[in-house]
Structure 1
Amino acid sequence: MGSALHEFESAVLLSFDQTAPAHLRDVALSSLEALKLSSDSISFCLQALGITGEACVKFWCLQVLVDVVRQSRYSTLAEGEQAALRASLMGWAQTKGAPQTDEAPYVKNKFAQLLVALLKVDFPHKWPHFFEQLLGTLQNGPVAIDFFLRLLTSVHEEVVSSDGSGFDASVAARIKDGMRDRCLPQVADAWLSILQLHESAPELAVACLHTIHLYVPWIDINLVAPPHPPRRFLELFVAFLHEPQLHENSCLCLTELVGKRMDASAKLEHLDSLAVVRLLANVAASGVALSAPFAALVAAVSLELLDCWERLALRAPPSADGSNLSASASSSLRAAMPLLLTCLSSPLLEVSQCTMNFLHAYVGRLRKLAPSRDELSAHEEHLQQLLVGMARKSVHPADYCFEAEDEAEEAFTAYRREVATLFKGVARVHGSLAQLFVRSTLETTLDAIESAPWAHVEVALWLLFQLGEGLPDAAIRDKEGVFPLMMTRLLSSSASAHPHQAVQLLYFEIIVRYYRFFLAQPQYLHTALSSFLDGRGLRNQRLAVRSRICYLLLRFVKLTLKAAPPQFVDAVSSLSLALSLSPSDEPFPLEEPHLANERAAAAPSGAACSGERANGPALSGSPEALPLSAAEQLNLFEVCGLVLGAPLAQPRHVAELLEVLLTPPLDRLQRLCEVGLSPPTAHERQHRRAAHPHAAGGLRARAASDSSDEVFFAA
């Protein structure tokens, strides 16, 4: 086979060489394709596999054999030919053992794929002793062990896992049943032997752990976690948690062990026998760094206990035994919570994130499982710790940039949204606890607002902002409740004048979100409105704050107008001054808002990063240097129209204010009309300039549509 093998190897090498001349590659590919279709391709590839030293040639031969087995050609072979193929492949595997017999990873993976393809056709009826034969090769050395583990992994990926595109439930059941009947105890013994090589061959131990976690869901649990000692697998899994190289895959194995599907009472007994809560607490106490896999393991244990508690508590018909088991599950869950909350509080976002699925389930089910205050009190301590943990994890990094978020900041923002959902869930389950926590946090922060970091002030306000969605409307309107006390404390603080933009904006967002508080206690409307109109709001030097305030002011007025005091009319005078100074001779066209965005991006006062620009002076006593964009002006015009359209002042006074408002845009429109026909190149520009006063007048007319005719006749 010497010259033929040499030509064959050259053709294969050419076929893989993308830099080779095209005509040579075409010739090589044609000859290889002819070889695939020839009647002796199987025997040729088997011979070449045992002789060649080129890894890519071995790969090509194995791929041809995979195609033979997967396609109809293998089924047409005589029984003897099929047996010869199986024997040849097992013989090749038996030559592997010592390090010098190792193959390239892609060759080993392709060989495992070929054996699995044969298993899908011939196991167990035609090849019943396959696994016994493969287990017999393990004594040959580390290469044989590596082949064995890759084969088991390939069985999972291509046969057992339903995620594969070629999944066949009947084939999967046949192979799993065949393995259960013939070899799984021996496979488990082999795993244990391989794990004991962790000091001399840690890479094999890692691969073995990965394989074990794939098989635990469907093999007999007693093979790896017997109900009584010795529990050699469990001891190794826990010991490996202290080994950085083995830690992650040990966590995966333990996660699968606790997640094994069982009846609720059997699952609770299984978890108790493993003593997994105590074991993990001891591991964490020993100083092992919290990792994402470890946090996921703790969350999995907690979720299993929660499921047991729920299934046992709701089991019908009720029984004394069921009640005792349910109480035991609840007690075990409470024992697991401290470690779970420690994982939540990890400074690493990916670790904390692993606890979220469980916490959402825990909070969501508490209302059903602990409907009474007495039952809920058993979990109150952990809910309190959960609130503290969420608050701490929601604090922005000191260098956070709101205007140009990077990948880490985007991840934090997404995480914070999830925390907000969880926080509102706690507020729904235990509203009084959430209110008292937010009140304590808010008061402590506002008392030290001058020295507190901006991120601490922001998160205290953020908690108040989120709280309302978890509370009933009555809690916000209740004049004697905790919530109104927090609102009055906020209104009396200097938060609205805080030097950081994030705090300023959040203050105004809170004012608008909780407009119902102002409807119930209208005496605070003037205080809130004043903050909108002065240097904290409309006269703020930061463009981003000022722009948002114009929108929020419109919302606030719309929502509270029915309870507005006569002093609201005075706001029109302040707005008239700002509107009389804007727009400049070059207003921003309504139909081209991107120009306004470009202007905002160019303005340093609109910075949102938490450095010097976001913490510098933000307040201005005069609006002269702060012209408003067209969109901002239109919001303010509508505010004026709403206020003047409400019966808050005498018609004569309303008419005077209307005249003040109408005069500047009408004068400007008059000047534009007097210009006459503009040159063609400037016509579109003049049209856009004229659009603004028309739109302003239209908004005023729409907002004031409920006014009496007397006001407009007087005007």
Structure 2
Amino acid sequence: MEDQVEQAVEIALSSNSDPMIKQQAMSFCNQIKESEDGWQMCLSLFMNDRKRSSAVRFFALQVVDDALVKRLNGSAKQLDNTSMLFIKDALLSYIQREYSPQSATDADAVFMQNKLAQTITLFFLLSYPNTWPTFFDDLLTLSSMGGPQLSNGRGLQLFLRILVAQHEEIADTLIIRSSEVARRNTIIKDAIRVRDMARLASAWMEILVQWTSRDDGYLIVESCLRVIGSWVSWIDISLIVTPQYMSIIFGILGNEALRGAACDTLSEIISKKMKSSDKFDLISLLNLPQTIGQLLIGSDVEFTEKVARLVNVVCLDLVRILDEDQFASPLKENTENLLQQLFPFGIGFLANEYDDTSSEIFPAISEYLSYLRKEKKRNIPLNPARRSTLTSILNTVIMKVKYDESMDWSNGTDDSEIEFLEVRGRLRLFQDAVAAIDENLFMDSISSIVISSLNGEKRDWRDIELGLFELGAYSDGLRNAAALPTKGQGGSSKAMEILNDMLLKMTNSNVLSIGHPSINLHYMELVVKNSKFFETHPQIVPQILEIFVSNIGIHSSSLQVQVRAWYLFYRFIKLCKHLMGDIAETALNAIGDLLVIESEVSAKNDGDSDMSADGTDSGTFDGRLYLFEASGILISVESVPDEKQLHLLKSVLTPIFRDMEASLSRPVEGSQLALQIHHDIMAIGTFARGVNDGGKAITDPVREQFLLASRAILVSLETLSGFEIIREASRFAFARMVPILGHQILPEIAVLVSRLLSESSTSELIDFMSFLGQLIHNFKGQSGILDMLDQLLTPLLSRVFYSLSISANGSTDEEIQQSDIKKAYLNFMMGLLNNGMEAVLTSDRNRQIFESIVRSVAHYTSTSPDASIKKMGSSIYTRLQVIMKAT
């Protein structure tokens, strides 16, 4: 039978097994697990034959584990008290045979030792302390086995593995347990504390003493330290924190092979929850300032990281003691003194060249800064020691956010740079905290760095990038302060003066001459973020525009920089349009070569009528649209004469009209044509939005040009209405031209709506009804919109009711879509009622569908789980009832 089990396990685990035979083998293995005597056969297989494969012996213990777990859960009948005694004797017999110094066989593989430790731990949960009260004594005896106490290395390794497994089962806080299991574990832990903990703590100390100096003791000492570090969270700390115990662990810190484990153990010991006074006494006993000062750290990166973690744990606890004890006391004074001794180490780790090491101290830095902010709110001034620490933190953070020599700029595309930027973002929060604690310190430090980077002496791009980054951080801080009720003016007048001074120095500097893309982007970002600066310095605007339209900005040879510059240029034009003066035409001429539309369809979208426009042009088309919107703003600022505006308007629109005409006349079909026309239509709509945003009153000649544009779009829609992206673009463009054309666009809108309704998919109905809602609001009371809605209502709502009558088939996406259609439908109905267009509901053309509308609103209101639908539906239903009674 054992041979059959071995064969079945090997077949089940083999990747080359025949699927049918493999399934049979797995079924056989499951039968073994479920059978009443399967555990007996498997225990015998594990015990008696070391020649079996490791996989088979591992499976055998799994079967035993399953039986033990079932008994733990109260669902196993096959394990009675006699069976439990049999398992205990078998396990002890195996350990005595295989884990004695005299064993002739090789030790079990590590994974087998871990599995055996898990099996013994499960048995322990069932038997301690009632039926096996001598559990720990018996295992400690096996760790000697005739030799000196705790001298059996093989037995000790298993013993320590068992202790690790026990902690995971009964005390690991990361594991969620039922209340019943938690109660059981509490009983076991209480019994260990009373019966065996003193003995175990003594044994651990003896293990450390005996094995630290042995050449073969590394793994045993490391395992013992791991056990101490895990168990210390729930045992009496006084058993471990004694001068003798701590002296031994500190001694291990001098052992290069074991000092990392010792450091981890100290971190766990200090993390033990206790009263503030007891925690301070513990930290004082460890004398960490002197100990850490004697450690040779730096060359060993991993150990340095562990020491940083230790310092972080200690500083965290000290800060929390300070925060709990708000009033002056000897404890607070002593805690402050000890913290000031330790913080230089923490700041040293913060400055470490390795970000993983720096990050270890982040929690303590954050907690300390939070504490100082609370102290400020309590009107407690910074004493010299705290100010010195705060200054060191800020200066270290500033240097830490600088690109180091080993890293190049890639605009966030390189993994190492992405990690650096993430750390930099967290460091920015520390700077913001310092600014909130001591504004003058922050202003002086940042302005010094910024001015130094702008003075022309530093030519390394990293130095200049640091200065511009900090200038951005400074201005962001002032903007954030302006958003707070207590800072209504965005910080002090001194802070604003310093910001304006730095911006003036930046615009007058030659930092762009270095030609680095990161500098160029930072510069443009800062210009846009601080556009209000140009209100008082309008004479600089032409200079900034010249930079934007040069190869530094929108004509950059770097595609990443170029596309980002298109957006930043648009933002600058939008924010400073009233400062353009007579340079608008010059700026527009400078970007004319970029107002070119070229589409490229990916292979997967070729010929697909439902293709998306996203991702087809490497993201550049969406960026180019910002240039069209910016050009619309430029030609529509107040300073541009009407005749010049019309000329410039035609210079943008005419090439698009010609491209649409040429594209539609060419014998090109499919996705390439659709995408090109889509881009043309989107450019028109985006350009229209810019024209409307420019601030200049719309003249009739301008309206005439956009009326031509609307007709060109309708021609394209008629030809390519089967493509969803054409329908989407047409709807987008018309929505942007409505504010310009007003009621003049209504005849074209009627044609547009008819086309869209006949072709729109179910998913498009949502956007379509939203579009109609916008038209209802814009043209309320006008006969043209009433006539259009009167013709449209019945076919539109028939489409809506049909779409909602189709079952979602359990699909989450379809259920969400149906909910969104209901909301869009009810919003559409609300728009009709709120804008005085309820007459279309009961017109001769739509009277036959009115009752269906009322019933549908009642149905969606009563059956929808969405509170917003219920509320809106109830309001609409009440108003529809009034209309029904009136008719």
CA contact (8 A) 1:65 1:114 kept: yes
Equivalent residue number for residue 385 of structure 1: 392
- For residues 583 and 269 of structure 1, do their structure 2 counterparts lie closer, same or farther at Cα, with a shift above 3 Å needed? same
Aligned length: 662
**Alignment partner for residue 625 of structure 2, among 627, 631, 639?**
631
Shifted more, 164-173 versus 153-162: the winner is: 164-173
**Alignment partner for residue 270 of structure 1, among 257, 279, 282?**
282
Unmatched segments (≥5 aa) in structure 2: 146-151, 483-489, 602-611, 706-887
Cα distance in 2 for residues equivalent to 1:37 and 1:543: 64
2:668 pairs with 1:681: yes
CA contact (8 A) 2:12 2:25 kept: yes
CA contact (8 A) 2:222 2:261 kept: yes
- For residues 579 and 655 of structure 1, do their structure 2 counterparts lie closer, same or farther at Cα, with a shift above 3 Å needed? farther
Equivalent residue number for residue 417 of structure 1: 425
2:92 pairs with 1:90: yes
Equivalent residue number for residue 273 of structure 2: 261
2:171 pairs with 1:160: yes
Cα distance in 1 for residues equivalent to 2:61 and 2:562: 69
SS at match of 1:189: helix
Cα distance in 2 for residues equivalent to 1:527 and 1:421: 33
Deviation at 1:401, TM superposition (A): 4.3
So what's the TM-score if we normalise by structure 1? Answer: 0.82
2:48 pairs with 1:51: yes
Cα distance in 2 for residues equivalent to 1:38 and 1:530: 84
- For residues 599 and 76 of structure 1, do their structure 2 counterparts lie closer, same or farther at Cα, with a shift above 3 Å needed? closer
Trace 1:329-348 onto structure 2 (pairs within 5 A): 329-348=335-354
Shifted more, 256-265 versus 663-672: the winner is: 663-672
SS at match of 1:124: coil
2:434 pairs with 1:426: yes
2:223 pairs with 1:207: yes
Equivalent residue number for residue 320 of structure 2: 307
Deviation at 1:512, TM superposition (A): 1.7
- For residues 221 and 578 of structure 1, do their structure 2 counterparts lie closer, same or farther at Cα, with a shift above 3 Å needed? same
**Alignment partner for residue 221 of structure 1, among 217, 230, 237?**
237
Partner letter of residue 500 of structure 1? H
Cα distance in 2 for residues equivalent to 1:487 and 1:476: 17
Deviation string 1:342-395 (CA, Å, 9 cap, x unpaired) is 111111121111122222222222110344473254322222222222222222
**Alignment partner for residue 125 of structure 2, among 111, 120, 127?**
120
Trace 1:97-246 onto structure 2 (pairs within 5 A): 97-98=100-101, 100-101=104-105, 102-140=107-145, 141-164=152-175, 168-196=181-209, 197-198=211-212, 199-200=214-215, 201-226=217-242, 229-230=243-244, 232=245, 234-246=246-258
Partner letter of residue 221 of structure 1? I
Cα distance in 1 for residues equivalent to 2:94 and 2:575: 80
Cα distance in 2 for residues equivalent to 1:169 and 1:68: 21
- For residues 534 and 100 of structure 1, do their structure 2 counterparts lie closer, same or farther at Cα, with a shift above 3 Å needed? same
Cα distance in 1 for residues equivalent to 2:230 and 2:439: 43
Cα distance in 2 for residues equivalent to 1:30 and 1:88: 28
Deviation at 1:674, TM superposition (A): 7.6
Cα distance in 2 for residues equivalent to 1:385 and 1:14: 64
CA contact (8 A) 2:42 2:61 kept: yes
Cα distance in 2 for residues equivalent to 1:142 and 1:418: 46
CA contact (8 A) 1:496 1:531 kept: no
Shifted more, 422-431 versus 453-462: the winner is: 422-431
CA contact (8 A) 1:251 1:293 kept: yes
Deviation at 1:484, TM superposition (A): 2.4
- For residues 123 and 690 of structure 1, do their structure 2 counterparts lie closer, same or farther at Cα, with a shift above 3 Å needed? closer
- For residues 678 and 117 of structure 1, do their structure 2 counterparts lie closer, same or farther at Cα, with a shift above 3 Å needed? same
Cα distance in 2 for residues equivalent to 1:585 and 1:38: 73
SS at match of 1:445: helix
Cα distance in 1 for residues equivalent to 2:692 and 2:34: 81
So what's the TM-score if we normalise by structure 2? Answer: 0.67
**Alignment partner for residue 405 of structure 1, among 413, 424, 439?**
413
Shifted more, 349-358 versus 155-164: the winner is: 155-164
**Alignment partner for residue 280 of structure 1, among 292, 299, 312?**
292
CA contact (8 A) 2:545 2:587 kept: no
CA contact (8 A) 1:428 1:470 kept: no
Cα distance in 2 for residues equivalent to 1:673 and 1:304: 70
Trace 1:226-625 onto structure 2 (pairs within 5 A): 226=242, 229-230=243-244, 232=245, 234-284=246-296, 291-313=304-326, 318=327, 323-371=329-377, 372=379, 374-375=381-382, 377-398=384-405, 399-403=407-411, 405-449=413-457, 451-471=458-478, 472-473=481-482, 474-475=490-491, 478=494, 481-519=497-535, 524-525=540-541, 527-534=543-550, 536-561=552-577, 564=579, 568-584=580-596, 586=598, 592=613, 594=615, 596-597=617-618
Deviation at 1:594, TM superposition (A): 4.2
**Alignment partner for residue 698 of structure 1, among 688, 694, 717?**
688
SS at match of 1:378: helix
- For residues 529 and 61 of structure 1, do their structure 2 counterparts lie closer, same or farther at Cα, with a shift above 3 Å needed? closer
Partner letter of residue 703 of structure 1? D
CA contact (8 A) 2:632 2:687 kept: no
CA contact (8 A) 1:630 1:692 kept: no
Cα distance in 2 for residues equivalent to 1:11 and 1:89: 25
- For residues 536 and 75 of structure 1, do their structure 2 counterparts lie closer, same or farther at Cα, with a shift above 3 Å needed? same
Deviation string 1:652-710 (CA, Å, 9 cap, x unpaired) is x5224313412323543565688696145266477457537734652343123553869
Deviation at 1:150, TM superposition (A): 0.8
Cα distance in 2 for residues equivalent to 1:249 and 1:188: 17
- For residues 41 and 671 of structure 1, do their structure 2 counterparts lie closer, same or farther at Cα, with a shift above 3 Å needed? closer
Deviation at 1:636, TM superposition (A): 2.5
Equivalent residue number for residue 773 of structure 2: none
CA contact (8 A) 1:62 1:114 kept: yes
Shifted more, 15-24 versus 461-470: the winner is: 15-24
- For residues 588 and 32 of structure 1, do their structure 2 counterparts lie closer, same or farther at Cα, with a shift above 3 Å needed? closer
Cα distance in 1 for residues equivalent to 2:224 and 2:657: 85
- For residues 126 and 519 of structure 1, do their structure 2 counterparts lie closer, same or farther at Cα, with a shift above 3 Å needed? farther
Identity among equivalent pairs (%)? 22
Q: Which has the higher contact order (CA 8 A, sep 6+)?
A: 1
Cα distance in 2 for residues equivalent to 1:667 and 1:638: 14
Equivalent residue number for residue 70 of structure 2: 71
CA contact (8 A) 1:160 1:172 kept: yes
SS at match of 2:131: coil
Pairwise CA RMSD of aligned residues? 3.6
Deviation string 1:269-321 (CA, Å, 9 cap, x unpaired) is 221122223322332579765532221111111111111110112xxxx5x5x
CA contact (8 A) 2:500 2:533 kept: yes
Cα distance in 2 for residues equivalent to 1:676 and 1:67: 72
Deviation string 1:407-433 (CA, Å, 9 cap, x unpaired) is 322211211221222222222222211
Cα distance in 2 for residues equivalent to 1:326 and 1:359: 19
- For residues 661 and 546 of structure 1, do their structure 2 counterparts lie closer, same or farther at Cα, with a shift above 3 Å needed? farther
Shifted more, 40-49 versus 167-176: the winner is: 40-49
Deviation at 1:23, TM superposition (A): 7.8
SS at match of 2:381: helix
Equivalent residue number for residue 603 of structure 1: none
Cα distance in 2 for residues equivalent to 1:92 and 1:258: 39
Unmatched segments (≥5 aa) in structure 1: 601-627
Partner letter of residue 597 of structure 1? S
Cα distance in 2 for residues equivalent to 1:373 and 1:490: 37
Partner letter of residue 409 of structure 1? E
